[in-house]
């Protein structure tokens, strides 16, 4: 018999978690305030593109284990294990995270609880949030200490969300060490099948658990900015950053993953998480500890300007009147997510320099058009490249990696390609008579 679980928030994190908990055999109710999202989910369709998620949704809806509602009262009545998976965006005009959505889940849910319950937070929050919410839940619920708040950070990557949720590298749980309750036991029940596979389960205090998530994202961001800084040096020295990454990556202490130089990181997590981390460290009086993340952020943002400048160089010094094809809009492949997407940022900068820009992406066109309605959009690669003076590859979709120069030869006006993700075979493009430029490449 599975547990009865409610998941609050049905974005990337919440929808995936809800579907995967049902897949593990639990009875799950997904809760959101957005009725249009709920309607889509109830029809077995994720409100965003994530490989494999629709299938898991549909199978578990059909099996009767997965339902959706906008009613907190219904969720409180149904479940005794609650997961918070709402967004914690960057506050407007500040580095800090906005935790209002997380707060409001607890504020709304706690008074409605009628049975001893565990609330597991999964959202990425500033350290100290879980303890604060724990006190708030106890105060707002008539059950007092029988309502616990524990933190169980999520490490899923978009594009691999289902796999990362069902087969994570590790499960981290932060509990109230002063008054330990049922949280660990509840987590062991929920994740029983995963733990049976031998996945490491780390139980710690809530503060450490919150920090594990921000530290992991800060490390990943630093790794990417490190290799992008090396790309800058390689460009200045006439060296090749891809070969450098291969060579240092063989050192097991360094590792080759997340050492791909290019236009840098974007998305709904890394950029805002490192900023929120700096802001929180400042509040705690440890601001010096994370000043290096400012540099990580600037190296990253510099990639975008650099890519615009490289395009301008290739155009002969001016982008006025140039036709630029941009292949890729999503912040990474296998996603339709364009939050803080380097690709779209660059497309916008190039357009502001006077070029006419046409963007194509296999999944992210609809979202892009809403956010950047003034850019041109195409239905496929050839339409985007029609008459192009320069072609840019800014998201490493498989479709772009596999492009053959001959496919575009007669379409473009000039055979010039810039590989913002170092994902193309430069010998092939050069061999076919194209001018090829990569990032930090000879
Ligand atoms: C990230 C973390 O990986 C994940 O653990 C956390 O839960 C949420 O944030 P995600 O935002 O899905 O996941 O994307 P990720 O795969 O980490 O890529 C982030 C950005 O870094 C992308 O824009 C990607 O293109 C870029 N990147 C990644 C590089 O530029 N170079 C690399 O080597 C790797």
Tens of pLDDT, residue by residue over 104-126, are 999 999 999 999 999 999 999 99
Spatial neighbors of 187 by CB under 8 A, at least 6 apart, are 120, 150, 152, 171, 173, 201
Average pLDDT of the residues in 233-258: 98
DSSP per position, 335-390: ----TT-HHHHHHHHHHHTT-EEEEE-TTTHHHHHHH-TTSEE-SSHHHHHTT-SE
Residue 171 in tokens: 């499960």
Query: Which protein residue has the closest C-alpha to ligand 1 atom 27?
Result: 265
Ligand 1 interacting residues, C-beta cut-off 6 A? 154-158, 217, 220, 224, 258-260, 262, 264-267, 269-270, 331-332
Q: In the prediction, which pLDDT does 173 show?
A: 98
Average pLDDT of the residues in 32-52: 96
Q: How far is CA 240 from the centre of its chain?
A: 28
Q: In the prediction, which pLDDT does 161 show?
A: 97
> If you search the block for the tokens 């994530």, which residue do you land on?
50
Residue 295 in tokens: 């540099």
The 10s digit of each residue's pLDDT in 408-430 is 999 999 999 999 999 999 999 99
Quick one: pLDDT band at residue 181, thresholds 50, 70, 90?
Answer: very high
Q: In the prediction, which pLDDT does 201 show?
A: 98
Q: How far is CA 389 from the centre of its chain?
A: 32
Contacts 24+ apart (CB under 8 A), 409-414: 411/382, 411/385, 411/386, 411/387, 412/325, 412/385, 412/386, 412/387, 412/388, 413/323, 413/387, 413/388, 413/389, 414/388, 414/389, 414/390
Query: Which protein residue has the closest C-alpha to ligand 1 atom 18?
Result: 265
Q: Angle 206-237/241-249 helices, nearest 10 degrees?
A: 130
The pTM assigned to this predicted structure is: 0.97
Report the nearest atom of ligand 1 relative to the CA of 331: 23
The 10s digit of each residue's pLDDT in 145-172 is 999 999 999 999 999 999 999 999 999 9
| Domain 4-199: top CATH class | alpha beta
Residue 129 in tokens: 């949030």
Quick one: pLDDT band at residue 370, thresholds 50, 70, 90?
Answer: very high
Euclidean distance between CA atoms 279 and 30, whole angstroms: 32
Q: What is the whole-number distance in angstroms between the Cα of residue 217 and the centre of ligand 1?
A: 9
Average pLDDT of the residues in 134-151: 97
In percent, the amount of the chain with pLDDT more than 90 equals: 99
Domain with CATH 3.40.50.720 in the chain: 4-199, 205-442
Does pLDDT of 359 surpass 90? yes
Q: What are phi and psi of 120, to 5 degrees?
A: -100, 120
Euclidean distance between CA atoms 357 and 379, whole angstroms: 14
Query: Which protein residue has the closest C-alpha to ligand 1 atom 1?
Result: 157
Is 399:380 a contact under the CB 8 Å cutoff?
Answer: no
Q: What is the whole-number distance in angstroms between the Cα of residue 154 and the centre of ligand 1?
A: 14
Indicate the CATH number for domain 205-442.
3.40.50.720
Q: In the prediction, which pLDDT does 332 show?
A: 97
State the pairing for strand pair 27-31/66-69: parallel
Percentages helix, strand, coil for the chain (3-state, rounded to 5) are 45, 15, 40
Mean residue pLDDT of the chain comes to: 97
The 10s digit of each residue's pLDDT in 294-322 is 999 999 999 999 999 999 999 999 999 99
Q: In the prediction, which pLDDT does 6 show?
A: 98
Q: In the prediction, which pLDDT does 442 show?
A: 85
- Closest alpha carbon to 358 in 344, 383, 376, 371: 376
Average pLDDT of the residues in 226-238: 98
- Most informative mutation of 224, 228, 263, 266 for ligand 1 (most atoms within 8 A of CB): 224
Which positions make up the binding site? 32, 37, 88, 124, 155-158, 213, 258-262, 266, 272, 332, 339
Quick one: pLDDT band at residue 180, thresholds 50, 70, 90?
Answer: confident
Does pLDDT of 7 surpass 90? yes
Q: Enumerate the active-site residues.
A: 269
Q: What is the whole-number distance in angstroms between the Cα of residue 265 and the centre of ligand 1?
A: 6
First to last CA, the chain: 60
Query: Which protein residue has the closest C-alpha to ligand 1 atom 22?
Result: 265
- Closest alpha carbon to 269 in 277, 257, 261: 277
Q: What is the whole-number distance in angstroms between the Cα of residue 320 and the centre of ligand 1?
A: 33
Is 350:333 a contact under the CB 8 Å cutoff?
Answer: no
Does pLDDT of 196 surpass 80? yes
> If you search the block for the tokens 């950070």, which residue do you land on?
153
| Cα angle 313, 306, 291; round to 5 | 160
DSSP annotation of 217 reads H
Euclidean distance between CA atoms 330 and 350, whole angstroms: 17
Query: Which protein residue has the closest C-alpha to ligand 1 atom 7?
Result: 155
Quick one: pLDDT band at residue 287, thresholds 50, 70, 90?
Answer: confident
> If you search the block for the tokens 């809806």, which residue do you land on?
61
Q: What is the whole-number distance in angstroms between the Cα of residue 127 and the centre of ligand 1?
A: 22
Q: In the prediction, which pLDDT does 194 show?
A: 98
């Amino acid at each position: 018999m599975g547990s009865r679980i409610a998941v609050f928030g049905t974005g990337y994190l919440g929808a995936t978690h809800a579907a995967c908990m049902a897949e593990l055999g639990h009875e799950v109710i997904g809760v959101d305030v957005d009725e249009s999202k709920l309607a889509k989910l109830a029809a077995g369709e994720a409100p965003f593109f994530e490989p494999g998620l629709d299938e898991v949704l549909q199978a578990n809806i059909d099996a009767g284990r997965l339902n959706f509602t906008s009613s907190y009262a219904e969720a409180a009545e149904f479940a005794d294990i609650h997961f918070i998976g709402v967004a914690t965006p960057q506050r407007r005009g500040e580095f800090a995270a906005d935790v209002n959505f997380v707060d409001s889940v607890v504020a709304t849910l706690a008074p409605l609880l009628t049975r001893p319950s565990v609330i597991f937070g999964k959202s990425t929050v500033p350290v100290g949030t879980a303890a604060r919410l724990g006190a708030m839940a106890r105060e707002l619920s008539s059950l007092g200490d029988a309502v616990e708040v524990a933190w169980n950070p999520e490490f899923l990557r978009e594009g691999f969300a289902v796999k990362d949720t069902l087969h994570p590298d590790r499960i981290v749980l932060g509990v109230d060490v002063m008054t330990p309750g049922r949280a660990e036991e509840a987590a062991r029940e929920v994740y029983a099948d995963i733990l049976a596979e031998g996945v490491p389960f780390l139980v710690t205090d809530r503060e450490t658990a919150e920090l594990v998530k921000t530290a992991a994202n800060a490390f990943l961001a630093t790794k990417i900015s490190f290799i992008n800084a090396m790309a800058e040096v390689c460009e200045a020295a006439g060296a090749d950053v891809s070969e450098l990454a291969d060579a240092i990556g063989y050192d097991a202490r360094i590792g080759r993953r997340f050492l791909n130089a290019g236009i840098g990181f974007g998305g709904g997590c890394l950029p805002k998480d490192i900023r929120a981390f700096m802001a929180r460290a400042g509040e705690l009086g440890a601001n010096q500890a994370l000043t290096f993340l400012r540099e990580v952020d600037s190296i990253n943002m510099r990639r975008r300007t650099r890519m615009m400048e490289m395009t301008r160089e290739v155009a002969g010094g001016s982008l006025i009147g140039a036709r630029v094809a941009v292949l890729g809009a999503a912040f990474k492949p296998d996603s339709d997510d364009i939050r803080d997407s380097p690709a779209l940022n660059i497309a916008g900068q190039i357009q502001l320099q006077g070029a006419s820009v046409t963007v194509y992406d296999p999944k992210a066109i609809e979202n892009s058009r809403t956010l950047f309605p003034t850019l041109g959009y195409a239905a496929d690669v050839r339409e985007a490249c029609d008459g192009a003076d320069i072609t840019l590859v800014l998201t490493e979709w498989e479709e772009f990696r596999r492009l053959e120069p001959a496919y575009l030869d007669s379409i473009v006006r000039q055979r010039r390609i810039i590989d913002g993700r170092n994902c193309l075979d430069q010998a092939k493009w050069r061999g076919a008579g194209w001018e090829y430029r990569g990032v930090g490449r000879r």
